[in-house]
RNA sequence: GGAGGGGUGGCAGAGUGGUUGAAUGCGGCGGUCUUGAAAACCGUUGAGGUGUUACAGCCUCCGGGGGUUCGAAUCCCUCCCCCUCCGCCA
């Protein structure tokens, strides 16, 4: 959510940002409702001030045993008037809030204006012996997983539906190894604090991080209990501090957490959805940071490097993309994607997304902090990044580590976790 | 799922319709005293909105929402959460 005052004072700036993000411009509508709202506030507050004063007077009269019937009758009218205006005000506030919930975060000034094709490759990394040249005919992860008996998409479809993968034997162990490796790495090397949070959250949490209302149709929903299976651990972890005022000394806060992630992915089928490329349930290790506003862009760079470190340890070729404004998510001000190389598909696959939300989520979720020398709380900045999603990583590992014989070597850093060094 | 109890400021804890945004204690901050510290004493200490160049002023907030009333932390309805007991259960 953007600051209403900011919109009021910088309408053109906001409009430009919305345009660059390809979102719907409701600024004029917001300003109009806001104007009306403030007018009503002025009127009601005058009436309420009067009511408060006279009501006190009535109390005094009654205590003194005097008659107050006449003023009470007069106040009844005032009270009715207040009620009328309050009703109107309530409606305007609801309307205004609804409008504000649909305004996207504005892209940071360092974000290139444009669409997906305007994303900028910032850097690229690969192991020394790596080559884009095909050394043999790679099996893609689906064929390979099937052949090795470590992945079973058909049975997953039977027990749940398509997009719910089953991991078997060494596949399941490898998945678990990855999760543990990544968690431990971020905890030990990057000083994150681990949290294990609920996989089901309420609507307030979903609003807090910006999934609702916009992404409603992409969410699973348990109607009986009004709970949403989380699309990412970003939601519960960021909402840890919803409605809290932290102290300056608390910051920065760095959390890392594992969760299963649930996404309906409504309307996305076809080639892109083969195997692990698009699933309804996957596992992810997520990093979330709460920082002071002036620190958030340095924190973003560090966050990207933290995610990259995992890929370097795993020796997976990858590149870092700075997303253009039109490719940014609703809540993000700036975002880097990490893409890993798939030798079977011969293309880059998104494996991580690291974003700075500035105060957008903090304002929605009401997460503030107080500086030592100031009494007024201010909104902090939130960031998060996948560190990383295992399903996409599994594709990279299975494909990049496969041998001409169709076996898969376990990356060295994972071997202590798996207890074996080759699959097949 | 059933029965009962409860949600008040950073924390603890008063307050059942009339200057109560809220006693008191602790904590925090400032000061006096002290070489310094502690103790003691004095003062101060919630958030949001509206408004103002900035103050002031005014309004709202005692779990959330709605209602009764001239007036609600206090009464009513509803939802949420916590605790105790019973039932069920990994």
**A386 pLDDT band (50/70/90 cuts)?**
very high
Dist CA A52 CA A31 (whole Å):
31
From the Cβ of A85, is strand B under 7 Å away? no
Span A7-53, pLDDT tens digits: 999 999 999 999 999 999 999 999 999 999 999 999 999 999 999 98
Helix (H) / strand (E) containing A394: helix A390-400
Q: Looking at residue A11, what is its pLDDT? A: 93
User: How high is the pLDDT of residue A287?
Assistant: 97
Tell me the CA–C1' distance in angstroms for A229 and B88. Answer: 25
pLDDT score of A216: 87
Strands A334-342 and A318-322: antiparallel
Q: What is the mean pLDDT of residues A187-215?
A: 92
State which residues between 209 and 248 of chain A bring their CB within 7 Å of strand B: 245
The reply to whether A44 has its C-beta less than 7 Å from any atom of strand B is yes
pLDDT score recorded for residue A123: 96
pLDDT value, residue A28: 94
Among all protein residues, pick the one whose CA is nearest to the C1' atom of B10.
Answer: A245
Tell me the per-residue pLDDT of A217-254, one tens digit each, with 9 for 90 and over.
889 998 888 889 999 999 999 999 888 888 888 889 99
Residue carrying the six token digits 């790679």: A138
Q: Which of residues 128-187 of A touch strand B (CB under 7 A)?
A: none
Q: CB of residue A97 closer than 7 A to nucleic acid strand B?
A: no
> Which bases of strand B sit closer than 7 A to a protein CB?
10, 18-19, 46-51, 58-60, 66-71
Q: CB–CB of A261/A284 below 8 Å?
A: yes
pLDDT computed for residue A143 by the predictor: 92
pLDDT of A402: 94
pLDDT tens for A148-172 read: 999 999 999 999 998 999 999 999 9
Sign of CA dihedral A314, A281, A192, A388: positive
User: Residues A180-198: pLDDT tens digits?
Assistant: 999 999 999 999 999 999 9
Integer distance in angstroms from CA A374 to C1' B40? 29
- Residue A395, pLDDT score: 92
Percent of chain A with pLDDT over 90: 70
**Residue A45: CB less than 7 A from any atom in strand B:** yes
DSSP conformational letter for A123: E
Q: What is the pLDDT of residues A83-112, one digit of tens each?
A: 999 999 988 998 999 899 999 999 999 999
Neighbours of A336 (CB within 10 A): 24
Instruction: Evaluate if pTM is beyond 0.90.
Output: yes
- b/e map A41-68, b = 16+ CB within 10 Å: eeebeebeeebeebeeebeeeeeeeeeb
* Residue A377 pLDDT grade (very low, low, confident, very high; cuts 50, 70, 90): confident
Within 7 Å: CB of A19 and strand B? no
- What pLDDT was estimated at residue A369? 87
Strand B reaches within 7 A of the A77 CB: no
Q: What is the pLDDT of residue A269?
A: 60
* pLDDT for the residue numbered A225: 84
* Residue A277 binned pLDDT confidence (cut-offs 50, 70, 90): confident
C1' (B17) to CA (A81) span, angstroms = 22
pLDDT on residue A24:
93
Q: What is the mean pLDDT of residues A68-72?
A: 86
Statement: the CB of A62 is under 7 Å from strand B = yes
Backbone angles phi, psi at A342, to 5 degrees: -105, 105
A271 pLDDT above the threshold of 60: no
Q: What is the ipTM of this complex?
A: 0.87
Residues 345-374 of A with CB under 7 A from strand B: 368
Q: What is the mean pLDDT of residues A188-211?
A: 92
Grade residue A268 by pLDDT with cuts at 50, 70 and 90: low
Rounded distance in angstroms from the CA atom of residue A247 to the C1' atom of nucleotide B18: 39
């Amino acid at each position: 959510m953007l600051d209403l005052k900011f919109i009021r004072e910088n309408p053109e700036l906001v409009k430009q940002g919305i345009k660059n993000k390809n979102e719907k411009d409701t600024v004029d509508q917001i300003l109009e409702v806001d104007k009306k709202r403030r007018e009503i506030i002025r009127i009601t507050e005058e009436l309420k001030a009067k009511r408060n004063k006279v009501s006190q007077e009535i109390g005094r009269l009654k205590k003194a045993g005097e008659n107050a019937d006449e003023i009470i009758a007069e106040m009844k009218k005032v009270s009715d008037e207040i009620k009328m205006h309050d009703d109107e005000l309530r409606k305007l506030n609801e309307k205004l809030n609804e409008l504000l919930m649909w305004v996207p975060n504005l892209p940071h000034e360092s974000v290139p204006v444009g669409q997906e094709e305007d994303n900028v490759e910032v850097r690229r990394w690969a192991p020394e012996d790596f080559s884009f040249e095909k050394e043999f005919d790679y099996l893609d992860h689906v064929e390979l997983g099937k052949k090795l008996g470590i992945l079973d998409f058909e049975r997953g479809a039977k027990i749940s539906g398509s997009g719910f993968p089953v991991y078997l034997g060494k596949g399941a162990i490898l998945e678990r190894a990855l999760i543990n490796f990544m968690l431990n790495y971020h905890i030990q090397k990057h000083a994150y604090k681990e949290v294990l949070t609920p996989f089901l959250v309420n609507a307030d949490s979903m609003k807090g991080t910006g999934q609702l209302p916009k992404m409603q149709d992409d969410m699973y929903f348990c109607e009986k209990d009004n709970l949403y299976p989380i699309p990412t651990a970003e939601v519960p972890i960021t909402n840890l501090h919803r409605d809290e005022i932290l102290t300056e000394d608390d910051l920065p806060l760095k959390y890392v957490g594992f969760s299963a992630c649930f996404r309906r992915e409504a309307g996305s089928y076809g080639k892109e959805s083969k195997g692990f490329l698009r699933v309804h349930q996957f596992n992810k290790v997520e990093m979330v940071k709460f920082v002071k506003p002036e620190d958030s862009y340095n924190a973003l760079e560090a966050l990207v490097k933290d995610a990259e470190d995992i890929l370097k340890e795993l020796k997976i070729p990858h590149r870092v993309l700075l997303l253009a404004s039109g490719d940014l998510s609703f809540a993000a001000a700036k975002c880097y994607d990490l893409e890993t190389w798939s030798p079977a598909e011969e293309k880059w696959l998104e494996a991580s997304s690291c974003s700075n939300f500035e105060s957008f989520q903090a304002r929605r979720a009401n997460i503030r902090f107080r500086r030592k020398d100031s009494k007024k709380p201010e909104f902090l900045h939130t960031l998060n990044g996948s560190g990383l999603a295992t399903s996409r990583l599994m594709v990279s590992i299975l494909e990049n580590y496969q041998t001409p014989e169709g076996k898969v070597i376990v990356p060295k850093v994972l071997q202590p976790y798996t207890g074996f060094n080759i699959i097949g």
